[in-house]
Structures are given as C-alpha cells and as structure tokens.
Amino acid sequence: MSIVLLRLGHRIFRDQRMTTHCALTARAFGCEKMIYSGEKDSEMEKSIEDVAKRWGGDFKVLYEKNWKKVVNSFPGKKVLLTMYGVNLPNIIEKIRPIKDLLVIVGSEKVPADIYDMIDYQIAVSLQPHSEVAALAVFLDWYFQGKELEKEFNNAKIKIIPQEKGKKTILME
C-alpha cells in the first residue's frame, strides 16, 4: 500500500505554514510521503525531517518542480481533493479498496490540465475550507480511524496518554 500526498503550487511566503501542516497531517494520518511542487522550500523540508527523526517513522518530503511528472508517473490511482468533486460519503466505498493512491491538494488555483490527468475528484463537503482539513478527513474516512493508532518505528520520543497533563518518555 502506498498513499502519497502531492501538494501543488507551494509558495514559501504565503504557504509555509499550510504546507508544513499538510506534511504533518499526511505523516500522522498514514501517508508514506509528501511530494510538493511550486517553490523549493528547504527550511520547510528540514522542519518535517526533524519531526520524523524525533517522532519516528520513515515519512519523507520530496520536491518536484514538474508536478505533471509526479502525476503521470504514479502507478496507482490519482485523487484530486476539491470542493467541486463527488462528495466523499458517495464515493469512499469505491476508493477504500484502492491500495496505491496519489492524493492531490492545491494551494492557489489548481492548473486546469490536472482534471484530465486524475481518476477521481473528491469533495470533503461541498463547501470551501482548507487543504489540511480536506486531507485529514479524507485519510480518516479512507483508513476508518485505524490511522489514529498507527505506530511509528525508531521514535526518540513517545507520549504516554494522560487524562490530564502531559507525559512523554525518551526512547533513546
């Protein structure tokens, strides 16, 4: 199984937090990696790499200027998340059995070419909101909540859940 996020059109000044949160959400909720296009952002890449080093797992962030190359070369099915798509509840049963998915989110207006390159366009409600929310809800419906119990190997730090307060242990 390979669930990969493609984040289109990253703009360092405008999108740094949102793209970082796309990566953190993708990592926490079951994606193998995030590929992003637009402006190369080494600082953002490093911040995600540091999270993965401390909290474990093999999540990667990769830059690819040519987003079409990513879409055309992906061996599985391609899903564009957009408020104009088929609403998630009406298509998830068709999507869940697909094991290799490229999940695509925009930042600015997505390039019109993409519509002929994808297999599905899926809405997470028919209202405008955020790529982070759309990604999180899509992944939760796809994994049916199992992503919330995912274990991350080689973690240097782990949380011990508390009813009140915070507790972590170092796994050195």
Least Å distance, CB 82 to ligand SAM, is 5
Residue with tokens 């190997």: 153
Q: Which is nearer to ligand SAM, 24 or 81 (CB)?
A: 81
Shortest Å distance, C-beta 22 to ligand SAM: 9
Q: Which of 101, 79, 93 is nearest to 3 (CA)?
A: 101
Kindly identify the residues of this chain, within the stretch 79-98, that bind ligand SAM according to CB under 6 A.
81-83
**Tokens at 163, concatenated:** 């009813």
Contact of 101 with 79, CB cutoff 8 Å? yes
User: How many chain residues are in contact with ligand SAM, going by CB under 6 A?
Assistant: 18
Q: Which amino acid is at 172?
A: E
3-class SS of residue 154? coil
Pick between residue 39 and residue 49 the one whose CB is nearest to ligand SAM: 39
Residue 118: other Cβ atoms inside 10 A = 18
Q: Does the footprint of ligand SAM cover residue 139 (CB under 6 A)?
A: no
Q: What is the dihedral sign for C-alpha 172, 58, 123, 101?
A: negative
Q: How far apart are CA 151 and CA 159, in angstroms?
A: 12
Q: Which of 6, 114, 118, 124 binds ligand SAM (CB under 6 A)?
A: 124
**One of 110, 114, 136, 139 touching ligand SAM (CB under 6 A):** 110
Site for ligand SAM in 44-83 (CB under 6 A): 81-83
Does 17 sit near ligand SAM (CB under 6 A)? Answer: no
List residues binding ligand SAM (CB under 6 A).
Answer: 81-83, 105-110, 123-125, 127-131, 134
